[in-house]
Amino acid sequence: MIRTRYAPSPTGYMHCGNLRTALYEYLIAKSQGGQFVLRIEDTDQSRQVEGAVEVIYETLRLAGLQHDEGPDIGGPYAPYVQSERKNGTGYLNFAQELVAKGKAYYCFCTKERLETLQKEDAAEGAMQYDRHCVSLSKEAVEENLRNGVPYVIRQLIPEGRSSFMDEVYGEISIDNAELDDQVLIKSDGMPTYNFANVVDDHLMDITHVVRGSEYLTSTPKYNLLYDAFGWQIPTYVHLPMVLNENGAKLAKRKGDATFADLLKQGYLPEAVINYCALLGWAPSDNREIFSIAELTEVFDVKGLSKSPSSFDTTKLAWMNGEYFKKMDADVFFEMVKPVLESSVKRAGADMRGLAAMVQSRIRFLHEIPGMLDFIDALPDYDIVLYTHKKMKTNSENSLESLQQCVPVLTDMPDADWNNDALYTRLQKLAEETGVKNGVVLWPVRTALSGKETTPCGASELLELFGKDESLRRIQDGIERLRG
């Protein structure tokens, strides 16, 4: 069975690069009937933020990525928090096994020596440990351990080259001389992120490891550990980077929005997760709108790209609007009802009708107040709005059209005051006066709204305002045009 794991560090936020990784891990597992595991990697205690684990749970819940095992729901491989696995898993025991095999060694270098080495390496452009402790005798090591000298355990990288196959990038081959003797066990006894990853992935039977392409060059270190233990190497899926609009890698510290930030800005969780799915993956057709269930049906790693993807907020905003359009009318109404009630105070206003008007036109809920601000009171507007090149209107023919509309609308029976009947009658007026429909409809819409854009057309606005208010606003338009 395919088993993937999402293993975030509890740092307090999740940007869309993190979320995309979780999504692809979920889809790789679920598209093949596998299992998706959540594991919290808190080996770096200094970076842990209070409440961060709850942020992870909430993000996955809102995104619709239900894990099969995890700290909150348990499972056969518990515990699912690395700090809780320290004693039971025995990371130190595994590292000591590698020492016994000659695949790792104790390092007693002081912090001061390492800092000096780092400065020297930085000046030369290389950042590798110099293996100062690799040749210590067994007796010297044992004496240091007896005396309580602080230490770390480092992986011993062998000579030669390392190669592996990646599902996205194909065969990758790296000279081992480029690899550093990474720390496996830190001086506080905690495993490093990289070492704990390998041990826990093996113990939890993880079959597919999904992560960013920046880890391609370090993957041989992982594989050397698997080989040293005699464990099966997992399938690797390295993902292309997600870049922000400045071309830099997406990151919170650079001011890029997190998933929570996007929700606060008015994006729907479903739209964000749909958009993240297309950041580096393409379906076999040109379709763009998918639910989680639909993504699970069509997802294939063959659709993953090697090229970085750009996070385009304009495209995301468009997608958000598409989700509003597709939303069930009753669900949409319940969502926008508080916004409508705070935006429109007009007595007797048809809130459901207003919801229907804006549903296909908004990208965000916060656009609604500005879209409907003309309903309670006609704004003070410039008559330049009556001039519209496409509609072929100007101040003169707009004044004429409004004057002709007054008797026509006055004579309309109350029983016929509805969108269809009003539109038909205004069309007939245009035909009778020998002008295009827009020459009649545009001035009416402008007089009723005082705005360049409205969520509906002239006849819908007439129905919304009713006869008395409509005629009052049209008369106001006539006076404005007369000057």
Closest CA to 310 of 271, 276, 265: 276
In this structure, are residues 280 and 240 in contact, taking their beta carbons and an 8 Å threshold? Answer: yes
Choice among 86, 186, 249, 252 that is catalytic: 252
Among candidates 53, 67, 59, 64, which has minimal Cα distance to 16? 59
- Please name the fold of domain 1-71+240-326: Rossmann fold (3.40.50)
Report the distance separating Cα 124 and Cα 114, nearest Å: 15
CB 189 within 8 A of CB 92: yes
Q: What is the rounded distance in angstroms from the CA atom of residue 190 to the CA atom of residue 86?
A: 7
What does the pLDDT profile of the chain (483 residues) look like in tens digits? 999 999 998 887 788 989 999 999 999 999 999 999 999 988 777 677 888 899 999 999 999 999 999 999 999 999 999 888 877 778 999 999 999 999 999 999 999 999 888 888 776 666 789 999 999 999 999 999 999 999 999 999 999 999 999 999 999 999 999 999 999 999 998 899 889 999 999 999 999 999 999 999 989 999 999 999 999 999 999 999 999 888 888 877 777 788 999 999 999 999 999 999 999 999 988 899 999 999 999 999 999 999 999 999 999 999 999 999 999 999 999 999 999 999 999 988 899 999 999 999 999 999 999 999 999 999 999 999 999 999 999 999 999 999 999 999 999 999 999 999 999 999 999 999 999 999 999 999 999 999 999 999 999 999 999 999 999 999 999 999 998
C-alpha to C-alpha distances, 221 to 96, 154, 174, 228, 333, nearest whole angstrom: 17, 11, 10, 11, 54
For the chain, which residues make up each domain, given as ranges? 1-71+240-326, 327-368, 383-482
CB within 8 Å of 203: residues ≥ 6 apart: 77, 89
Tell me the C-alpha distance between 111 and 149, whole Å. 12
Q: Going by C-beta distance under 8 Å and a sequence separation of 6 or more, which residues neighbour residue 189?
A: 86, 92
Its sign, for the CA torsion 155, 156, 161, 162, is negative
pLDDT digits (tens, 9 = 90+) for 373-418: 999 999 999 999 999 999 999 999 999 999 999 999 999 999 999 9
CATH number of 383-482: 1.10.10.350
Question: What does 170-215 look like in DSSP terms, one character per residue?
Answer: EEEEEEGGGS---EEE-TTSPBPHHHHHHHHHHHTT--EEEEEGGG
Q: CA separation (Å) from 433 to 388, 394, 405?
A: 19, 16, 11
0.85 surpassed by pTM: yes
SS3 326: helix
Q: Is 254 a catalytic residue?
A: no
Cis peptide before 240 (omega within 30 of 0): no
Question: 361: closest CA among 331, 320, 391?
Answer: 320
Please state, in angstroms and rounded to a whole number, the distance separating the CA atoms of residues 398 and 386. 6
